[in-house]
Amino acid sequence: QQQVKQSPQSLIVQKGGISIINCAYENTAFDYFPWYQQFPGKGPALLIAIRPDVSEKKEGRFTISFNKSAKQFSLHIMDSQPGDSATYFCAASTSGGATNKLIFGTGTLLAVQP
Amino acid sequence: EPEVTQTPSHQVTQMGQEVILRCVPISNHLYFYWYRQILGQKVEFLVSFYNNEISEKSEIFDDQFSVERPDGSNFTLKIRSTKLEDSAMYFCASRTGIGNTEAFFGQGTRLTVV
């Protein structure tokens, strides 16, 4: 029940295209859903995050869509650029506890071709 | 911009040896974490630390692991007797502790056990 399932495992998109990565969760206690971007040899960096009281959040070219009833959320990267090529992880956590640990998805390796 | 710093960036050790991975979290942060990422796999929670004690640990964090905040700035992860399967990237993270705020990750320490 603590798992976060992520797909696809890898994704190739042409420059200017839309990249879409999907995640699903089981634990209804999760109330914070961040997306992290990781470049090779670097630590994960927060890209964008959403809470379940909204269905969509947009920051620049990055949008999270959230479907609470389906327990799914997705990352959309509009006008994808070669510099977006990285591994993307969705994650989930619960607030209110002493930990707020992040449960990560398995990651998606995105390659944006010029 | 404040950042989490980790040392060393790469550590090679022989099986059975003790290793200490070091982290300097962001100075006003209150919650500290260690995560592990085996090559090509997802980021996994190891342990959280708050108010000078462990607040939660995963099943991975067995008796061979320990954490310490010895001097109010450093946060260390010790593996007493390393095994081959401990080879991974270890990430330290910290957050302010007010609600579900952003967790900032360090660049990681690549541990190779031979």
Q: What is the pLDDT of residues B27-84, one digit of tens each?
A: 889 899 999 999 888 899 999 999 899 999 999 999 999 999 988 789 999 999 999 9
How far is B11 from B112, CA to CA, in rounded Å? 6
For residue B83, what are the contacts with CB-CB under 8 A and spacing of at least 6? B15, B64, B113
How far is B11 from A36, CA to CA, in rounded Å? 25
Tell me if A101 and B42 make a contact (CB, 8 A cut-off).
no
Tell me if B56 and A101 make a contact (CB, 8 A cut-off).
yes
Residue B99 has pLDDT above 90, yes or no: no
Token pair for A13: 């998109």
Token pair for B80: 């007493």
How far is A74 from B35, CA to CA, in rounded Å? 23
Token pair for A30: 């999760």
How far is A84 from B65, CA to CA, in rounded Å? 36
Helix (H, G, I), strand (E, B) or coil at B58: coil
Q: What is the pLDDT of residue B70?
A: 84
Which residue in B4, B55, B100 is closest to A95 by CB distance? B100
Q: Which of A28, A37, A39 is nearest to A1 (CA)?
A: A28
Alpha-carbon distances of B72 from A103, B60, B103, rounded to whole Å: 27, 26, 19
Sorting pLDDT into bands at 50, 70 and 90, what band is B97? confident
Q: Chain B partners of A99 at a C-beta cutoff of 8 Å?
A: 31, 48, 50, 55-56
Amino acid at position A72, single letter: Q
Distance from the B93 Cα atom to the nearest Cα atom in chain A, whole angstroms: 9
Q: What is the pLDDT of residues A71-84, one digit of tens each?
A: 999 999 999 999 99
Chain A residues in contact with chain B using a Cβ-Cβ cutoff of 8 Å: 31-32, 34, 36, 41-46, 49, 51, 89, 93, 95, 97-107
Q: Chain A partners of B45 at a C-beta cutoff of 8 Å?
A: 101-103
How far is A62 from A58, CA to CA, in rounded Å? 6
Distance from the A58 Cα atom to the nearest Cα atom in chain B, whole angstroms: 17
pLDDT beneath 70: ranges in chain A? 1, 96-98
Pairing of strands A19-25, A4-7: antiparallel
Tell me if A98 and B50 make a contact (CB, 8 A cut-off).
yes
Tell me if A101 and B48 make a contact (CB, 8 A cut-off).
yes
